[in-house]
Structure 1
Amino acid sequence: MDPLRLYTHPACLAHDPGAAHVERPARLQAVIEAVSAAFPAIDWRDAPRASRGQLSRVHDDALLARVLDTGIATGSEPLALDPDTSLGHGSAEAALRAAGAGVAAVDAVMAGDARRAFCAVRPPGHHATATTAMGFCLFNNIAVAAAHACDAHRLQRVAVVDFDVHHGNGTQAIFQSDPRVMYLSTHQSPLFPGSGGAEEQGVGNVINLPLAPGTSGGEFRAAWRDRLLPVLQGFRPQLLLVSAGFDGHRLDPLAQLELDADDYRWLTAELVAVAERHAQGRLVSMLEGGYDLAALRESSVAHVQALLG
């Protein structure tokens, strides 16, 4: 069994939403280079494509057709789906590989081939709803993975932990009526997308803890230690899925939290401990946000270090 398996694919670098866009290929390149340098013996695998059937568990046919069948010509300008989200020539393949990474990672940890997995992919996913690509996200990669775990592996308790600085409105919306999936999130508020209030509780399976701008690493840790981790422990997840966004770092240009790489290392280690206690160690993490390259390098290495245990 691999202690940690990493998934990525060159196609994820070919998604180009435009030269001035903050969700640029250099983000993923920074993660791959930093993690590879820090852990040269780690097991990297090519992410397969997600199938339409796997995607259709959480997305409707119109969104699949919009992303997969639009057919952007090589060299054409990206097609704006909204002010933040674009579709370029390589975007459909990147989206298939990003979602497919999560499916493959779930299969690997469920089969006992790997204890944990980290999917270094883009575009990110947690803002995409069942019907809408938004917030830099085309398909909801973590939701595709969670639905696969529930339907293909018959799990009844899957936890999605989201520490991206932006609320994962798409993930919440997809699962807020499905008690098999618990969604727990800390995120800055106010901030895009404007959702994630503490009163949003789904069917008792949604736990949101908004954080004010300027929240320190100590306050972030206390929020998880005192409020969210006890709820997660009580849920006794059979599998942990992590939306790993590193845009709460103090250097990130899109938000105003004051976290650092050690905060991500600490929380990841806490999540690993929960997975060891309740889920036979099974944990799959997927890259979401993070837009300062230095912070992204440092934070992703800290995250992988903690995943390795």
Structure 2
Amino acid sequence: MKLLFILIFIVSCADIGQRIDTENTIELFDTTTEITIKDLKNHIGFLASDELEGRASGTLGDEMAKDYIQKFFKNASLPTKRLVEIQEHYVPAERKWNLKPEDMTVKTYNIIATIPGNDPILKDEYVIIGGHYDGGAATAAQLRKMTGGDKIYNNADDNASGTATVLELFEKYASENSNKRSLVFILFGGEELGLLGSKYYVENPTIDLSKVQLMINLDMMGRLNEELLYVGGVTSGEGFKEQLQIHFDKTDMNIDAYSNTPHAQDRRYNRLFQRSDHYNFYKKDIPCIFFFTGIHDDYHQPSDEIDKLNF
């Protein structure tokens, strides 16, 4: 029940070419407005299935994942008013260190759902809750070295687990309609190619970024071991560490809360802090909190499967 426990904890803290249209063929499972293990497993079971082949940017699996997320955000059974938007952007076919405009040939997406706030004053402020939905894939060289066995990088933990967490948080808030601030849920494409989805978003925002009070990023949420949860960015906002500690003290988990400054005493995690989508918001002086359950031997391997997740 560990992924479910983390999710509940987070709640307590607050076209070029022909489009492949899969949205009409994707069916959403029966879901509840409560956060449940069943719903998390259903989301991840689809997103990390062999059918989606890892959700690498520009693939049919990427398109299917985007359509699934969009359909879930539009779910007509949820009572709350919301705005669902799709940002198309282009990324390279594989990761490159010195990107040029001509490298950006593959289309992927950011999928965005905004729920207006209910407080007459605070509704003009925003909290962003996000993660990346894309997954990494084996390079041609890696595929040549593989002999038999499973060659699909299903990317269950990285990051179907974070995607499912964002979807369940969205559903909870969209069913309750109790948020004071406006909430923006974003699932980014192109993270595995260099945080490119979040980079595109902060350069082409759908809201006024100066009014964002916090960005919460959920990446690799499914492998909590020894009750240790990594929480990054606790010094990125005034009073964050103290406020978070109140919630930490209410849990049985061991929280490894680390900062984000290059000269901090706990600098061992700073490279990790720079390797996920919140970092592009942080560079825009937006306070960020990064939830993460740690690196493991199945990271970026075909063995990152749903049966390894700790629900």
TM-score normalized by the length of structure 2 = 0.31
TM-score normalized by the length of structure 1 = 0.31
Quick check: which has more Rg, 1 or 2?
2
Greater relative CO (CA pairs within 8 A, separation 6+): 2
